[in-house]
Chains A and B, each alone.
Chain A
Amino acid sequence: MSRLSIKQESRAQTVVEGLYKDMERRISASPSGICPVDTTSAFLKMCMTQSCGKCTPCRVGLFQLDQLMDMVLDGTATVDTLHIIHTTATAIANSADCAIGAEAGKMVLRSLDGCYDDYMAHIKSQSCKAKLDMSIPCVANCPADVDIPGYIALVGEKRYADAVRLIRKDNPFPVACALICEHPCEARCRRTLMDAPINIRGMKRAAIDGAGIVPPPERMAVTGKEVAVIGGGPSGLTAAYYLQLMGHQVTVFEQRSSLGGMLRYGIPAYRLPREMLQQDIDCILSLGVKVQLNTRIGTGAGEISMEERQERYNAVYSSIGAHKDKKLDVEGEEAEGVMSAVELLGKIGDNCYPDFRGKRVCVIGGGNVAMDCTRSAIRAGADKVMCVYRRRIEDMTALPEEIQGAQAEGAEIVELHAPLRIETDSSNKVTALWTDPKQIGIIKGGRPSPVDSGKEPERIPCDIIIVAIGQAIDADPFAEAGMPVNRGTIKAALWTAIEGVEGVFAGGDCVTGPATAIRAIAAGKVAAANIDNYLGYNHTITLNVDIPEPNLKDRDYCGRINMEERPADERKHDFKLMELPLTEKAACQEAGRCLRCDHFGCGIFKGGRKQEW
Chain B
Amino acid sequence: MVTLHINDKEVQVAEGTTVLEACRAVGLNIPTLCYLKGINEIAACRVCVVELKGENHLITACNTVVYDGMEIYTNTPKVQEARRVNVELLMSQHRTNCPTCGSNGVCQLQKVASSLNINETINYPHFFRKSLMEDFPIQRDDSKCIRCYRCVSVCEKVQTLGIWDMVGTGARTTVGVSEGRTISASDCVACGQCVTHCPVNALRVRDDTKLLSGLRGALNNPKKVVVVQTAPAVRAAWGEAFGLSPEVANEKRMAAALRAIGFDYVFDTNFTADLTIMEEGTEFLNRMQHPEDHKWPMFTSCCPGWVRFLKSQYPDMVSQLSTAKSPQQMFGAVTKSYFAQKIGVDPKDIVCVSVMPCSAKKAETEIPNINDAAEGCKDVDIALTTREMCRMIKAALIDVEALPEEEFDSPLGTGTGAAVIFGTTGGVMEAALRTCYKVLTGENPSADETFKAVRALASDKPWVEATYNVNGIEVKTAVVNSLGNARKLIRAVRSGEAFYHFVEVMACPGGCVGGGGQPIHYNEERAADRGKVLYRYDANNTMRFSHENPEVQALYTEYLGEPCGHMSHKLLHTDHTGWQMPPAKKYDSDVKH
* Residues of A that sit less than 8 Å from B by CB: 33-35, 38, 73-75, 121, 125-132, 533, 538, 549, 552-555, 599-600, 602, 604-607
Q: Which residue of the partner chain B has the closest CB to A76? A: B129
Inter-chain CA distance A132–B167, complex, in Å, is 9
**Contact flag A128-B43 (CB < 8 Å), given A554-B55, A605-B166:** no
Q: Which 10 A-B pairs have the closest CB atoms?
A: A128-B168, A38-B170, A130-B169, A35-B169, A34-B169, A126-B130, A554-B55, A554-B56, A549-B65, A604-B42
Inter-chain CA distance A56–B235, complex, in Å, is 71
Asked if A127 and B64 sit within 8 Å, CB to CB, the answer is: no
From B56, B67, B170, B590, contact of A549 by CB (8 A): B67
Inter-chain CA distance A569–B98, complex, in Å, is 76
Determine which residue in A538, A606, A607 has the highest number of CB atoms from chain B within 10 A of its CB, and name it.
A606
B465 at the interface (CB under 8 A from A): no
Interface string of B170-189 (1 = CB under 8 A from A): 11100010001000000000
Asked if B170 and A35 sit within 8 Å, CB to CB, the answer is: yes
From A127, A538, A549, A604, contact of B43 by CB (8 A): A604
Asked if B55 and A33 sit within 8 Å, CB to CB, the answer is: no
Asked if B169 and A131 sit within 8 Å, CB to CB, the answer is: yes
A–B complex contacts, Cβ < 8 Å, 17 sampled: A33-B169, A35-B170, A38-B169, A73-B172, A125-B180, A132-B169, A533-B589, A538-B589, A549-B64, A549-B67, A552-B55, A553-B55, A555-B57, A599-B63, A604-B41, A605-B153, A607-B157
From B59, B149, B156, contact of A552 by CB (8 A): B59
B447 at the interface (CB under 8 A from A): no
**Contact flag A127-B149 (CB < 8 Å), given A552-B55, A604-B42:** no
Q: Which residue of the partner chain A has the closest CB to B149? A: A605
Asked if A606 and B157 sit within 8 Å, CB to CB, the answer is: yes
Considering the complex, which residues of chain B in the window 535-568 have a beta carbon less than 8 Å from any beta carbon of chain A? none
Give every chain A residue within 8 A of B149 (Cβ-Cβ). 605
B158 to chain A, nearest CB (A): 12
Asked if B180 and A129 sit within 8 Å, CB to CB, the answer is: yes
B52 at the interface (CB under 8 A from A): yes
Determine which residue in B156, B171, B589 has the highest number of CB atoms from chain A within 10 A of its CB, and name it.
B589
B152 at the interface (CB under 8 A from A): yes
Considering the complex, which residues of chain B in the window 35-77 have a beta carbon less than 8 Å from any beta carbon of chain A? 41-43, 52, 55-57, 59, 63-65, 67
Asked if B169 and A552 sit within 8 Å, CB to CB, the answer is: no
Give every chain B residue within 8 A of A73 (Cβ-Cβ). 172
Considering the complex, which residues of chain B in the window 118-170 have a beta carbon less than 8 Å from any beta carbon of chain A? 129-130, 149, 152-153, 156-157, 165-170
Give every chain A residue within 8 A of B171 (Cβ-Cβ). 38
Inter-chain CA distance A121–B180, complex, in Å, is 10
Determine which residue in A35, A121, A552, A553 has the highest number of CB atoms from chain B within 10 A of its CB, and name it.
A552
Asked if B129 and A74 sit within 8 Å, CB to CB, the answer is: yes
B565 to chain A, nearest CB (A): 44
Asked if B172 and A128 sit within 8 Å, CB to CB, the answer is: yes
**Contact flag A126-B166 (CB < 8 Å), given A549-B65, A604-B41, A607-B157:** no
B191 to chain A, nearest CB (A): 18
**Contact flag A34-B590 (CB < 8 Å), given A552-B64, A606-B156:** no
From A121, A132, A599, contact of B166 by CB (8 A): A132
Q: Which residue of the partner chain B has the closest CB to A34? A: B169
Give every chain B residue within 8 A of A555 (Cβ-Cβ). 57
Asked if A127 and B176 sit within 8 Å, CB to CB, the answer is: yes
B22 to chain A, nearest CB (A): 14
Give every chain A residue within 8 A of B166 (Cβ-Cβ). 131-132, 602, 605
Q: Which residue of the partner chain A has the closest CB to B174? A: A128
Asked if B153 and A128 sit within 8 Å, CB to CB, the answer is: no
Asked if B57 and A554 sit within 8 Å, CB to CB, the answer is: yes
A78 to chain B, nearest CB (A): 15
A532 to chain B, nearest CB (A): 10
Asked if A127 and B172 sit within 8 Å, CB to CB, the answer is: no
Inter-chain CA distance A555–B56, complex, in Å, is 10
B569 to chain A, nearest CB (A): 39
A557 to chain B, nearest CB (A): 13
Give every chain B residue within 8 A of A75 (Cβ-Cβ). 129-130
- What would 17 more interface pairs be, CB under 8 Å, given A35-B170, A554-B55, A605-B152? A34-B169, A34-B170, A35-B172, A38-B169, A73-B172, A127-B180, A128-B167, A131-B169, A538-B589, A538-B590, A549-B65, A552-B55, A555-B57, A602-B166, A604-B43, A606-B157, A607-B157
Give every chain A residue within 8 A of B157 (Cβ-Cβ). 606-607
A30 to chain B, nearest CB (A): 11
Q: Which residue of the partner chain A has the closest CB to B63? A: A604
Give every chain A residue within 8 A of B65 (Cβ-Cβ). 549
Considering the complex, which residues of chain B in the window 197-229 have a beta carbon less than 8 Å from any beta carbon of chain A? none
Asked if A127 and B170 sit within 8 Å, CB to CB, the answer is: no
Inter-chain CA distance A130–B180, complex, in Å, is 10
Give every chain A residue within 8 A of B589 (Cβ-Cβ). 533, 538
Asked if A128 and B55 sit within 8 Å, CB to CB, the answer is: no
Q: Which residue of the partner chain B has the closest CB to A130? A: B169
Determine which residue in B43, B52, B167, B168 has the highest number of CB atoms from chain A within 10 A of its CB, and name it.
B168
Inter-chain CA distance A552–B166, complex, in Å, is 27
B588 to chain A, nearest CB (A): 9
Give every chain B residue within 8 A of A127 (Cβ-Cβ). 130, 167-168, 176, 180
Give every chain A residue within 8 A of B495 (Cβ-Cβ). 538
Give every chain A residue within 8 A of B172 (Cβ-Cβ). 35, 38, 73, 128
Inter-chain CA distance A121–B170, complex, in Å, is 16
B451 to chain A, nearest CB (A): 34
Inter-chain CA distance A54–B451, complex, in Å, is 86
Give every chain B residue within 8 A of A35 (Cβ-Cβ). 168-170, 172
Q: Which residue of the partner chain B has the closest CB to A39? A: B170
Inter-chain CA distance A533–B591, complex, in Å, is 12
Q: Which residue of the partner chain A has the closest CB to B162? A: A606
Give every chain A residue within 8 A of B52 (Cβ-Cβ). 552
Asked if A606 and B153 sit within 8 Å, CB to CB, the answer is: yes
Give every chain B residue within 8 A of A538 (Cβ-Cβ). 495, 589-590
Inter-chain CA distance A538–B169, complex, in Å, is 34
Asked if A128 and B41 sit within 8 Å, CB to CB, the answer is: no
Give every chain B residue within 8 A of A132 (Cβ-Cβ). 166, 169
B153 to chain A, nearest CB (A): 7
Inter-chain CA distance A289–B255, complex, in Å, is 72
Inter-chain CA distance A604–B56, complex, in Å, is 22
Inter-chain CA distance A33–B495, complex, in Å, is 37
Inter-chain CA distance A125–B182, complex, in Å, is 10
A293 to chain B, nearest CB (A): 35
Give every chain A residue within 8 A of B169 (Cβ-Cβ). 33-35, 38, 128, 130-132
A188 to chain B, nearest CB (A): 15
Q: Which residue of the partner chain A has the closest CB to B64? A: A552
Q: Which residue of the partner chain B has the closest CB to A74? A: B129
